């Protein structure tokens, strides 16, 4: 079954840790290349396990869309967001440390891989992922009437794959967005507000501004044109 339009990603978001940025007292020792290697190894292991868990939960939610699976995906997404942001901030500690090319690339990816971060205040990541789950559900469960036939998303996607009539494919494409987008507008606006809130923190802005700026500037009508991105049998 197609994995649905999903805003939360394997990607992203985190409650921040102090990392000594605001600590008083003697300055901490500068990080070393050995510490960078150890950090990358731990981050890779944690994020790989997290990605597998999150992907399986997302597949269940996409296959059986209900309040329970939405809750599960939102809860897992919040934890994943917190973890990804934490690792992005920790990776920035090694800026300026001389490491080998492989470790440098992995540190870079940890910082740049964020797509939709959350602010550090309690509840921000949970709210963000709950909104993402609702957006996913609203898009996947809408129904569209075309030529007297009420279509589900699966049926509409099947017609898009097989039709060679440009007028029909346009009617299906625009019609689906016409029935799914209105109820998504308020949630999407709040999603952008939460992303902007996260970017007010200078240390986070340094690591994720390039990626999140794209999301913030994309209009809702354009975002909803994204097709389902993968299948899982």
Split into its structural domains, the chain has a count of: 1
Tell whether 100 is covered by a domain. yes
Please give the pLDDT value at position 160.
Answer: 94
Tell whether 191 is covered by a domain. yes
Q: Structural domain of residue 220, as residue ranges? A: 2-18+32-231
Tell whether 27 is covered by a domain. no
Q: Would you say 211 and 85 are in contact if contact means Cβ atoms under 8 Å apart?
A: no
Of 155, 138, 137, residue with least CA distance to 146: 155
Tell whether 186 is covered by a domain. yes
Measured CA to CA, the distance from residue 170 to residue 157 in angstroms comes to 12
74-90 confidence digits (pLDDT tens): 989 888 888 888 898 89
134-177 confidence digits (pLDDT tens): 998 888 889 999 999 999 999 999 999 999 999 999 999 999 98
Tell whether 25 is covered by a domain. no
Tell whether 140 is covered by a domain. yes
Per-residue pLDDT of the chain (233 residues; tens, 9 = 90+): 444 444 343 333 333 333 333 334 455 688 999 999 999 999 999 989 988 998 999 899 889 989 899 899 898 988 888 888 889 889 989 999 999 999 999 999 988 877 777 777 888 888 988 998 899 888 888 999 999 999 999 999 999 999 999 999 999 999 998 998 898 999 999 998 888 887 765 445 444 444 443 333 333 333 333 333 333 44
Burial pattern 139-177, b for ≥16 Cβ within 10 A else e, equals bbebebeeeeeebebeebbebeeeeeeeeeeebbeeebb
- The full length of the chain comes to 233
pTM beyond 0.75: the answer is no
Tell whether 24 is covered by a domain. no
The DSSP secondary-structure symbol of 93 reads: G
Q: By percentage, how much of the chain surpasses pLDDT 70?
A: 73
Measured CA to CA, the distance from residue 188 to residue 218 in angstroms comes to 11
Tell whether 23 is covered by a domain. no
């Amino acid at each position: 079954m197609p994995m649905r339009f999903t805003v939360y990603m394997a990607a992203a978001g985190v409650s921040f840790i102090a990392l000594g940025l605001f600590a008083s007292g003697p300055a901490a020792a500068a990080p070393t290349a050995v510490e960078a290697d150890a950090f990358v190894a731990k981050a890779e292991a944690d994020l790989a396990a997290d990605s597998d868990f999150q992907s399986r939960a997302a597949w269940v939610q996409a296959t059986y869309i209900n309040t329970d699976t939405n809750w599960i995906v939102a809860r897992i997404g919040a934890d994943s967001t917190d973890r990804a942001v934490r690792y992005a901030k920790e990776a920035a500690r090694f800026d300026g440390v001389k490491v080998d090319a492989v470790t440098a690339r992995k540190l870079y990816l940890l910082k740049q891989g964020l797509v939709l971060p959350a602010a550090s205040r309690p509840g921000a990541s949970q709210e963000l992922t709950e909104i993402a789950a609702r957006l996913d559900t609203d898009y996947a469960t809408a129904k569209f009437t075309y030529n007297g036939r009420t279509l589900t998303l699966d049926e509409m996607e099947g017609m898009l794959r097989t039709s060679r009539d440009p007028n029909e494919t346009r009617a299906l494409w625009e019609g689906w967005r016409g029935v799914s987008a209105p109820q998504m507008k308020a949630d999407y606006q709040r999603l952008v507000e939460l992303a902007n809130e996260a970017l007010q923190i200078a240390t986070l802005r340094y690591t994720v501004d390039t990626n999140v700026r794209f999301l913030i500037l994309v209009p809702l009508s354009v975002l909803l044109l994204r097709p389902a991105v993968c299948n899982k049998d």
